[in-house]
Amino acid sequence: MITVVFMAIATVLVLFFLIESGKAGKSAAAEVVLSRAWSYRFARQTLQEKKRHYLEDNEKYHTVSAKKAAKQIKTWEKQIAENQKKEETYLTGKQYTLLDHISLFGYQILVDLRLDGDNNLLRQLTASCERTGYVELERNQETGGKKNSSIYAYYLLAMLLSYSYIGVMAALFLGVLSAAAGNTDPAGIVLPMAVGLGGCVLYGYVPYDNLRTKAAKRQEEIDLDFPNAISKITLLVTAGMNITRALEETALSGSTQIYQELRLAVRELRQASSLQGALTRIQYRCNNRYLDKMVTIIAKSYASGNANLAADLKAINDECWLDKKHNARRMGEAVQNKLFVPTMLMFIGILIVIIVPAMSGFNF
């Protein structure tokens, strides 16, 4: 009986999947192909960044031998070349697989649910895309009149919905196969179903989670290092250096995310971009309120002939460091609270180790 029920439900789900996928238009398919090309580009850029950090750390600390380092670099270079080849294949429109078609179901479900830029979940995911540091997903980048970050956020959410739905169908089919094989134990039926569902959901969730984790980690690093960067800028401007030169000198003084962003701004300035335009793009990628204040002050100082720029930067610097001290105190308190339970467990364990042997020595 359970086999018939599972088969009936699975058949209905398959039909609904095919109908909804067929409703998705060519624009959705084009966005899937473009997003797949971007995903390979981002994977390539991540590997290039990992390679660079690996070489820098090994040159500084000599953690592995030169032979082992060369082998690791060769492996990464091979993966980078493969990702670049796949990216180019998708960008030329020469590839469209069954896995790409699966995402169309999620696109149509999002359309049916009328989820757009006003939806809180999609808005947060779009903001995460803009803060990953990938140039293609910057807030001002558009493709076909639609923001790239919105296109990629829609793709990630559609993938998650599609593979979650595929997971439900896979679970039902595995349940049917288990029951048809003569398995009467409920655990023997439920376990394959759980594995099928969990595997598909995980496959769709990993890209979604990776992007949000990257954005959050990058934001945390920027917030942590920005006080140091603003201190250097303030010091140089106070010493009489103009703001453009101060930004250039500060950008070369570190290698973390905020310094990389400043180097990118300096590169844009050398390519005839305006200072305010370059700093505004950093605002979009970083989302730091003290950086927002710094950009506003620099813009105003240009309009007023750099009047009081050093004093205004010093005020931001003092406020930024004060906030960093408060954050450090809050983080310390949070760590202390997390350590309370393990400490109590260790204390109880020590008491047991001491008291039990002592009590066993008494004869009642």
**What does pTM read for this prediction?**
0.85
| Predicted pLDDT of residue 303 | 67
313: which 2 tokens?
Answer: 């930067």
pLDDT value, residue 362: 56
CB 47 within 8 A of CB 76: yes
Q: pLDDT tens for residues 110-146?
A: 989 888 777 888 999 999 999 998 989 988 889 988 9
Over the chain, what is the mean pLDDT? 89
For the chain, the structural domain boundaries read 2-214, 218-320
Structure tokens at 104: 């169309």
**Architecture of the structural domain at 218-320:** Up-down Bundle (1.20)
Residue corresponding to tokens 């813009």: 299
Q: Which residues of the chain have pLDDT under 70?
A: 1, 303-307, 361-364
Residue 364 confidence (pLDDT) = 47
pLDDT digits (tens, 9 = 90+) for 188-210: 888 999 999 999 999 999 999 99
Structure tokens at 207: 């890209």
Dihedral angle computed from the Cα positions of residues 314, 318, 320 and 325, in that order, rounded to the nearest 10 degrees: 160
Instruction: Give pLDDT, residue 3.
Output: 84
Q: Which pLDDT score is estimated for 305?
A: 64
Residue 132 DSSP one-character state: S
C-alpha distance from residue 121 to each of 157, 167, 180, 215 (Å): 9, 22, 41, 15
Helix (H) or strand (E) holding 251: helix 243-251
